[in-house]
Amino acid sequence: MSPRNQVLGHSYSWFERPPGFVFRKQRTRGGANLILRCDDVLLPTLAERYGTPLYVYSATAIREGLKVFQTAFRDVLHTICYSVKANSNLSILRLLAKEGCGFDVVSAGELERALAADSTVARRVVFSGVGKSRDEMTAALKAGILIFNVESESELLLLAECAAQQRKMARMALRVNPDVAADTHPYIATGLRKHKFGVPTGAARRLYAMAAKSRYLKIAGVSVHIGSQITETAPFGEAMMRVADLVRALRAEGHAIEYVDVGGGLGIEYQQPRNNFVEYVANYARAVIEPLRGLNLHLLLEPGRSIVGPAGVLLTSVLYKKQNDGKRFVIVDAAMNDLIRPALYRAYHEITPVVQRQNSSREETVDVVGPVCESGDFFARDRNLPEVEEGDLLAILDTGAYGMVLASNYNTRPRPAELLVSGKSVKIVRRREKLRDLYAAEL
């Protein structure tokens, strides 16, 4: 517990994520222990009652994350359209909708979830994605969503056709690719010419002119999304400068541009030192707003990870410890099918014992690995961890985003249960899968 982090005058260890996940001191006969809790509930209690592996989310942290965005953008007209793909659990969507959130969806499935969470939310839904099918467009038109982010000429034509068929106006923005580089993993960078997303800024005006000729398309905005897990604010500012130029050019040509969809992508600090989130989002807001000043726009924001990422942990139990020629392994009951980020992006997640014994300061260097039959099935490599024992409980931190949504049944492993904790209240928001669920759809 040596490294400390200052948040609002309080000192926290690197293994705490206030306000959701903080250690509480508990005296025992052998000395004092520090026990990790989610809101007001101790995590060992949840592991005992619901088993592991287990995703646990803090409602307080989610609300707080959203509030930080709302506050940072309070001086401009804006709608926060939470990116459903980061964590699409219905109860989390419902919680966010109650706080005034709209949604960014990338499939008919996500649209249906958003509507199931809040049947009145359609007017705050934006539909993104390079490969919307005819059926998906039709469903979104029927629901009456706020705006389609169109990503190609062919999609524009198909949207016009679907809208005409239903005699419904489709409000649309073109997703432009501003060709700005952002420092992130290549799989989640999207803002360069070589990426499949959006249309080049240079081609945009021709496509807007095309859209203007269609009776059932209503040009309403310009959209961008330059990637995910971007921890510098400058690339967002750069993208907005290009968008601002485009908005001026489009308006000069007579197009009514009301919305700018800024996309999502603001990263979180998975590793120490962690930044001050409030200042960080305020800087992000400044970078985004400044280039658009005076244009009188309605901003659409699509944060995902930055709201739910630090609000979740994956709890897992140590099954075995073993040493192969001096290399130490901690084998846990969660695996790459439950959390694929380390395997897919070589992502770093902080891992901590849920109970830290204060009088034992021994550390060891270990690989934390799961039971799946792949060497890529690891959560940490050569990591210094406090010495753990078989049966101990570990928390893998910052797994509220791109955790459960990317989980699979590889190795015919049931996906974990998900809990949403709010203060003292604990809700099972997704039950653990049963083995028979896994083959129920098969012949």
- Which residues are part of the catalytic machinery? 373
Which positions ≥6 away from 364 have C-beta within 8 Å? Answer: 328, 384, 385, 387
Q: Is the dihedral angle over the CA atoms 346, 348, 349, 350 positive or is it negative? A: positive
Q: Which of residues 198-227 bind ligand PLP (CB under 6 A)?
A: 225
| # chain residues binding ligand PLP, by CB under 6 A | 19
Which positions ≥6 away from 365 have C-beta within 8 Å? Answer: 328, 382, 383, 384, 385
Closer Cβ to ligand PLP, 178 or 263, answer by number: 263
For residues 38-75, one letter each, b for 16 or more C-beta atoms within 10 angstroms of the residue's C-beta and e for the rest, the string is bbebbbeebbeebebbbbbbbbbbbbbbbebbbebbee
Closer Cβ to ligand PLP, 102 or 265, answer by number: 265
Closer Cβ to ligand PLP, 106 or 388, answer by number: 106
Stretch of residues binding ligand PLP (CB under 6 A), selected from 78-86, 90-98, 272-280, 408-416: 78-86
Q: Which of residues 131-170 bind ligand PLP (CB under 6 A)?
A: none
Q: Tokens 């750069």: give the residue.
A: 238
Candidates 214, 228, 283, 317: give the one binding ligand PLP (CB under 6 A). Answer: 228
Q: Is 264 in the site for ligand PLP (CB under 6 A)?
A: yes
Q: Tokens 């005296």: give the residue.
A: 27
Task: Determine the Cα–Cα distance for residues 301 and 263; give it in Å rounded to an integer.
Answer: 6
Q: Is 418 in the site for ligand PLP (CB under 6 A)?
A: no
Q: Which of residues 266-285 bind ligand PLP (CB under 6 A)?
A: 266
Q: Which of residues 106-125 bind ligand PLP (CB under 6 A)?
A: 106
Stretch of residues binding ligand PLP (CB under 6 A), selected from 60-68, 245-253, 258-266, 278-286: 258-266
Amino acid identity, residue 40? D
**Could you give the C-alpha distances from 399 to 34, 285, 358, in angstroms and in order?**
21, 25, 26
The encoded tokens of residue 246 equal: 């485009």
Closer Cβ to ligand PLP, 303 or 370, answer by number: 303
Stretch of residues binding ligand PLP (CB under 6 A), selected from 83-91, 163-171, 273-281, 423-431: 83-91
CB 235 within 8 A of CB 182: yes
CB neighbourhood size of 188 (10 A): 17
Candidates 235, 237, 263, 403: give the one binding ligand PLP (CB under 6 A). Answer: 263
Chain residue whose CB lies nearest ligand PLP: 304
Q: Which of residues 15-74 bind ligand PLP (CB under 6 A)?
A: none
Which positions ≥6 away from 380 have C-beta within 8 Å? Answer: 342, 348, 349, 351, 366, 367, 368
Candidates 20, 191, 291, 303: give the one binding ligand PLP (CB under 6 A). Answer: 303
Closer Cβ to ligand PLP, 197 or 378, answer by number: 197
Instruction: Tell me the sheet residues that pair with 332.
Output: 318
**Could you give the C-alpha distances from 231 to 19, 183, 198, 281, 284, in angstroms and in order?**
21, 8, 22, 10, 9
Shortest Å, Cβ 406 to ligand PLP: 12
Q: Is 88 in the site for ligand PLP (CB under 6 A)?
A: no
Q: Is 304 in the site for ligand PLP (CB under 6 A)?
A: yes
CB 175 within 8 A of CB 199: yes
Q: Tokens 């590793």: give the residue.
A: 271
Closer Cβ to ligand PLP, 52 or 89, answer by number: 89
User: What does the per-residue mask of binding to ligand PLP show for 357-396, with x meaning CB under 6 A?
Assistant: ----------------------------------------
Closer Cβ to ligand PLP, 17 or 225, answer by number: 225
The encoded tokens of residue 31 equal: 């000395």
Q: Is 302 in the site for ligand PLP (CB under 6 A)?
A: yes
Say if residue 3 is preceded by a cis peptide, omega within 30 of 0.
no
Shortest Å, Cβ 197 to ligand PLP: 8
Candidates 16, 39, 64, 104: give the one binding ligand PLP (CB under 6 A). Answer: 104
Residues of this chain that bind ligand PLP (CB under 6 A): 83, 85-86, 104, 106, 128, 225, 228-229, 263-266, 302-306, 401
